[in-house]
Amino acid sequence: MAEITNQAAFQLPGVLYGGDYNPEQWTEDVWQEDVRLMQAAGVNCVSLGIFSWAKIEPQQGQYNFAWLDRVIDLLHTHGIRILLATATASPPPWFSHLHPESLPVDKHGLRYKPGSRQHYCPNNAAYRHAASALVTKIALRYGAHPAILMWHVNNEYACHIYECYCDTCRDHFRAWLQERYATIDALNESWGTAFWSQQYDQWEEIQLPHRTTTFVNPGQMLDYRRFMNASILSLFRGEIEAIRAAGAQQPMFTNMVFGLKWLDQYEWACYADYTAIDMYPDPSLGDQAWSSIAFAYDAIRSAKGNKPFLLLEQATTQVNWRAINQLKPPGMMRALSYQAIAHGADSVMFFQWRQSKAGAEKFHSGMIPLGGAADSRIFAEVSQLGAELKRLTDVVGSRVQTQVGLLFSYENVWALEIDSKPAQIDAMSAILPWHAALAQQNIPVDIVHPNSDFAGYRVLVAPLLYQMTESHAEKLRQFVREGGTLIVTYFSGITDARDHIWTGGYPALLHDVLGIKVEEWQPLLPDEVVEIIDQTGQRTQGQHWVDLLHPVTVEVLAHYNGGFFDQRAAITRNRFGSGQAYYVGTRPGAAYLHDFFCRICTEQSIHSLIDAGVGVEVSMRSGGANQYLFVINHTGTSQSVTLHGQKGIDLICEATIADQFSLEPYGVRIIRLPL
Ligand SMILES: [Zn+2]
């Protein structure tokens, strides 16, 4: 692991506040205005040099650091710390011209051209060599500069190029497979090549999963996903090694993109000192978006064992890359910024400091709009937030504590989305409703990898945990036996790590724990629903899927009503050891799922943090002698909030908070409570 040895001694100087700073787009007189306005806005930190490769190294091996020296000294003089980028995210034209083989190749065998960004094959030796040389130069020059707070490695890995089909990647894939399987027989067994006459005799016969006549071998596809994740991760590790070899000791991170599913964040987090995320919710979704944002924050926090993460990018208002790009109404940016902190972020950063006047993102908002800072709504909101965040220094380093975990892995997502299934599955849209049902009633949730330690959780939810190994099943068995409550949904426990189906009925490894056996399933059409009636007479409509299951030792809590499935069990509960395990063979309606989780959590003495209306999010961080209760109104209307007897001080307005209060549209309260 590459974590710095003095990590324990490292402290952030408060909540980091600022944005990507791209001074190479402006003349030096503008830099002077920049630092003045940064101070006015409460900016204490910028991410510098992310796309500066062409400016730093205008020709191969010829470096121009004079301008960067001046920028770094200017920021330092004005007390602004720097997340210094390694500048490798977009190779300059001279590099692509000298090394056309470095350009990635798409699934159809077409090589990309330069002219955009992220145009490099992750396995290309020339790119790796040039990136390493650049990073070494930068780290040697600035590693000891007191302004440098952290290293920002590359940028949004895999946001555009998450797979490459060039000959170099093919050769590396073969070598990776040889390392993994040792013998061609072992590969044949793992990929199930006895089917469709796919048996390989030599490693040289193996191709990447290019465009094929019909379905690619699923084992090959799954290994290709693992291989590309490993290839891109090795770029990250290579840059970390170059920084450390140059003697720089500051912590480092790379920023992941919201919703990106091609990189295994849990594995990447092992090599980063901080996890970091870029978050761009669509404002047009209004208060429909906040719970999916909450999932992404819970996931990035959980990836590094609940350590605070960095919100590295968001937009002050508008982006430029959707078909229609709407504004964030007044207050929404502030509310979404506090949402990140509420879920464990120790920074609020933007792309970018000053909006660009040219280039592909000139219509993307910045902290300073092109109309100027004066009389600007955006800059006024930015400055207000900057002033407020200075009052949150005590929150830095505090932790979110949960008793509920949602089991999730990227391998499971990759395996779920390989084609030739009972139905094409969009994994995230199938999994998110299970998180939303908890998040929307303000029950804190970790996003837990099945390999993680389950100690400390009272309830675990396993939505569509399709891939399940024997060790995952054994850990879940032990969790329930020792008193835990487990909820397993349809299409779980189907395959092993090779994507081979476990025989004997599903979920084969957990029959004893769940007390049921699934024989068949019916994926539902997009608008198709199946009615469910529970023991209390409550009705809901099952969506997405119906499992035909055989109850063995369970109590049937709900059954289907009508059709082929009439009177068959839909939801069951099994007592096992000191715990209990639920099985849900469909996706009940949102209101029913809300009540279902509410009953289970209440039984386990897990309660919503406070009572509040729909669209009000509540989260808690704990640290030192205090707890910090974040109450955020994600709606455009006032909402009433009732505290559960908590008496505390609002960190922003420094007033005592009443038991009941009205929260204005997009309003936020951060209430400090004694632990
Ligand atoms: Zn390639």
Residue 339 lies in a domain: yes
Measure the N-to-C terminal CA separation of the chain; round to a whole number of Å.
34
pLDDT at 29: 97
* Domain shared by 489 and 551, yes or no: yes
pLDDT at residue 5, as a whole number: 44
pLDDT at 456: 95
User: What is the domain-level CATH number for residue 390?
Assistant: 3.20.20.80
**Six-digit token string for 423:** 């139905």
Q: Kindly give the distance from the C-alpha atom of residue 105 to the centroid of ligand 1, in angstroms, as a whole number.
A: 6
Q: Within a domain: residue 509?
A: yes
Q: What is the CATH number of the domain that holds 620?
A: 2.60.40.1180
Among 37, 269, 279, 10, which Cα is nearest to 148's? 10
Q: How far, in Å, from the CA of 164 to the mean position of ligand 1?
A: 4
Report how far ligand 1's centroid is from the alpha carbon of 223 (Å): 16
Given a cut of 70, whether residue 459 has pLDDT beyond it is yes
Q: What is the pLDDT of residue 7?
A: 57
Same domain? For 151 and 22 the reply is: yes
Give the Å distance between the CA of 224 and the centre of ligand 1: 12
Instruction: Quickly state the pLDDT bin for 34 (edges 50, 70, 90).
Output: very high
Residue 80 CB neighbours (<10 A): 22
Regarding whether 409 and 389 lie in a shared domain, the answer is no
The CATH number for 549's domain is: 3.40.50.880
Catalytic residues: 156, 313
- Looking at residues 491-502, what average pLDDT do you find? 98
Domain edge (last residue) among 395, 419, 453: 395
Question: Across residues 35-49, what is the average pLDDT?
Answer: 98
Least confident of 317-326, 379-388, 646-655: 646-655
Residue 541 falls inside a structural domain: yes
Does a structural domain hold residue 337? yes
- Whether residues 357 and 253 share a domain: the answer is yes
Ligand 1 centre and the CA of 491: distance in Å?
34
Pair (594, 620) in one structural domain: no
Place of tokens 């369970």: 554
Q: How many residues in total does the chain contain? A: 675
Task: Please check whether residues 146 and 61 belong to one and the same domain.
Answer: yes
Sign, Cα dihedral of 233, 234, 239, 240? positive
Q: Which of 361, 378, 395 is the last residue of a domain?
A: 395
SS (H, E, C) 412-460: HHHHHHCCCCCCCCCHHHHHHHHHHHHHCCCCCEEEECCCCCCCCCCEE
CA dihedral over 575, 579, 584, 589, signed as positive or negative: positive
Average pLDDT over residues 127-136: 98
Q: Alpha carbon 468 to chain centroid distance?
A: 22
Q: Is this prediction's pTM over 0.85?
A: yes
| Average pLDDT of the residues in 546-558 | 96
Q: Are residues 341 and 370 in the same domain?
A: yes
Task: Say how many Å lie between the CA of residue 109 and the centre of ligand 1.
Answer: 11
**Residue 299 falls within a domain, yes or no?**
yes
Q: What is the 3-state secondary structure (H, E, C) of 280-302?
A: CCCHHHHHHCHHHHHHHHHHHHH
Q: Count CB neighbours of 18 within 10 A.
A: 28
Q: What is the DSSP letter of 125?
A: H
In a domain, 166, yes or no: no
Same domain for 486 and 342:
no
pLDDT at 12 over 90: yes
Report the C-alpha gap between 316 and 527 in whole angstroms: 37
Distance from Cα 488 to the centre of ligand 1, integer Å: 39
User: What is the distance in A from the centroid of ligand 1 to the CA of 520?
Assistant: 41
Q: Hey, what are 251's tokens? A: 């912590």
Tokens of 111: 């090589």
Strands 616-623 and 626-633: antiparallel
Q: Same domain for 488 and 512? A: yes
Same domain (yes/no): 450, 498: yes
> Could you write out the DSSP letters of every residue in 184-233?
HHHHHHHHTTTGGG---SSGGG-----S-SSPPPHHHHHHHHHHHHHHHH
- Tokens coding 508: 């084969």
The yes-or-no verdict on residue 524 having pLDDT over 90 is yes
Q: By residue range, what is the domain housing residue 667?
A: 611-674
Q: Is the pLDDT of residue 1 over 80?
A: no
**Domain final position from 373, 395, 417:** 395
Is 490 part of a structural domain of the chain? yes
> How does 318-352 read in b/e, with b if 16+ C-beta sit within 10 Å?
bbeeeeebebbeebbbbbbbbbbbbbbbbbbbbbb
DSSP class of residue 214 equals S
- Do 619 and 664 lie in one domain? The reply is yes
* Total tally of structural domains belonging to the chain: 3
Answer whether residue 658 shows pLDDT above 90. no
pLDDT of 618 higher than 90: yes
Residue 303 falls inside a structural domain: yes
> What backbone phi and psi angles, to 5 degrees, belong to 430?
-80, -30
Are residues 263 and 386 both part of a single domain? yes
Q: Could you tell me the distance, in angstroms and rounded to a whole number, from the CA of residue 207 to the centre of ligand 1?
A: 13
Which of 348-352, 405-409, 607-611, 624-628 shows the lowest mean pLDDT across its residues? 607-611
pLDDT per residue over 170-229, tens digit each? Answer: 999 999 999 999 999 999 999 999 999 999 999 999 999 999 999 999 999 999 999 999
